[in-house]
Amino acid sequence: MNTMLTLRFDGTHYHGWQPQKEFATVCGTVKAALEKTLGRTVTLHGCGRTDAGVHAEVYAANFRGECSIPHERLPFAINSRLPRDIAVLSAKPVPDDFHAINSCMRKQYTYRVYTSRMRDPLREGRALHWPRPLDIGRMRGAARDFTGTHDFACVRTMGTPVKSTVRTLYAFDIEETGGLVEFTMRANGFLYNMARALAGTLLWVSEGKVADIPALIASGDRAAAGPVLPAHGLYMTGVWYA
């Protein structure tokens, strides 16, 4: 049997999804709770790596093997053993060849920035504080230039080895509501720090520090793009399977 879990978590106190011996991770925490629930060792596959401090409104994982608890009851059983900043939302059987990351067709990340002269304690750890207004129109124009299939080397931080830096960005939307600006990016995959660097580049566009996005993409020059923004403003907000 192959089971898919959907999860939601606040990444503030975790060193990302990927298991690490020295640090608490989301995968390690969920795996421990799942193993206590099922009474056996489990290999848990996530739909992607998330950096330390990154949150998820939607995240998918799967594990194989017998599950003695009905799927509709499994989330409640696991959640009783999880800390309050992680929750399993659902569990369902999936085909044997399903794999949370290898079967994933698209992912979506949203980066949140709140623009205010004063910092907001209720948004600390949830969105980046930017003390000046942002030029939404200019940033939307830059976001359109990023959309499509490109070599995104200019917004990649060296980290996990990849065969290619070419990705397809299906949508890059910017919405503003009450001073909260959301950069939502949907792609067939993201390079290391790509989402945070895309959002940082649009902030640089608003500040007039980056002007020509097609030229930036063609150059592949990471130093010419904007900064990698802090992790606490980033959320995984969507994942798609066939």
Q: Residues 26, 30, 31, CA angle at the centre, nearest 5°?
A: 115
d(CA 169, CA 198): 11
Cα-to-chain-centroid distance, residue 57: 9
Half-sphere exposure of 25 (CA within 13 A, CB side): 17
> What φ, ψ does residue 75 adopt, rounded to 5°?
-55, -40
d(CA 110, CA 197): 12
Is residue 51 annotated as a catalytic residue, yes or no?
yes
Exactly one of 51, 151, 173, 212 is catalytic; name it: 51
Query: For residue 2, which amino acid is it?
Result: N
Q: Which of 123, 57, 111 is closest to 86 using CA atoms?
A: 57
Tell me the C-alpha to C-alpha distance, in Å, between residue 107 and each of 17, 136, 170, 213, 226.
Answer: 15, 24, 10, 23, 22
The catalytic site residues sit at 51
